[in-house]
């Protein structure tokens, strides 16, 4: 099931890669191009210079450049975040905005869940990344308080698509984590 979910997610990403960007340069949907189909060299380069794997362009240098080590992990994480009751509540709230006249392209839902909850007890096997700081480049240090960040956006056909989904090193105390 997770393998077929990953195949569907890849197809959705291909359909939505330039959604919302008329200049067609910025790849909007980028789960696989930026966070799955990359290796240690890619995350190290992104952490040092901000160079994105999905298009080779330099962007903002992230605090942590992270990736999934297997596509089944991102499929599992996205599925669990999608089914989370709070995610569903937020999706319904966004649908209310749509019914009130907001354009579909303005709707999005951003959710965080602890990696253990989103991926399972073996989550450490499926996350990797690099962090660049004053001490130089190092492998990212995920903890029990690390989370997955997932962002869904609505397309012009009024269908939700996963814009991004990646492991995030930092805890989210603003969201009550660690608990």
Render pLDDT for 37-53 as a digit per residue (tens, 0 to 9).
Answer: 889 999 999 999 999 88
Buried b (16+ CB within 10 A) or exposed e, 75-102: bbbbbbbbebeebeebbeebeeeeeeee
Q: What spatial distance separates the first Cα and last Cα of the chain, rounded to whole Å?
A: 31
At 107, the pLDDT band (50, 70, 90 cuts) reads very high
Mean pLDDT, range 63-87, rounded to an integer? 95
Query: 114-160 pLDDT, tens per residue?
Result: 999 999 999 999 999 999 988 899 999 999 999 999 999 998 889 89
Which of 23-32, 45-54, 64-73, 165-174 is least confident? 23-32
pLDDT at 57: 84
Which of 25-34, 57-66, 81-90, 98-107 is least confident? 25-34
pLDDT at 27: 47
What are the C-alpha distances in Å from 141 to residues 33, 121, 127, 128, 163? Answer: 22, 17, 10, 8, 25
pLDDT at 86: 95
Burial class (CB in 10 A: 0-12, 13-18, 19+), 45: buried
Structure tokens at 177: 């984590």
Q: Which residue would you say has higher pLDDT here, 81 or 10?
A: 81
pLDDT at 79: 95
Q: Are 165 and 149 in contact (CB under 8 A)?
A: yes
Domain ranges (residues) in the chain:
2-175
Q: Are 168 and 66 in contact (CB under 8 A)?
A: yes
Query: 14-27 pLDDT, tens per residue?
Result: 776 655 544 444 44
């Amino acid at each position: 099931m997770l393998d077929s979910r990953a195949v569907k997610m890849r197809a959705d990403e291909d359909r939505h890669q330039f959604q919302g960007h008329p200049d067609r340069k910025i790849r909007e949907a980028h789960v696989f191009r930026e966070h799955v189909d990359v290796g240690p060299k890619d995350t190290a380069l992104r952490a040092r210079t901000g160079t994105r794997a999905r298009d080779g362009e330099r962007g903002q240098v992230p605090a942590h450049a992270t990736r999934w080590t297997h596509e089944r992990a991102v499929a599992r994480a996205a599925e669990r975040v999608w089914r989370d009751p709070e995610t569903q509540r937020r999706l319904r709230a966004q649908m209310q905005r749509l019914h009130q006249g907001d354009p579909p392209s303005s709707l999005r839902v951003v959710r965080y869940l602890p990696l253990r909850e989103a991926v399972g007890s073996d989550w450490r096997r499926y996350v990797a990344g690099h962090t660049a700081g004053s001490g130089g480049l190092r492998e990212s240090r995920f903890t029990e308080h690390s989370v997955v960040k997932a962002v869904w956006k609505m397309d012009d056909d009024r269908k939700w698509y996963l814009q991004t989904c990646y492991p995030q090193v930092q805890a989210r105390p603003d969201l009550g984590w660690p608990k």
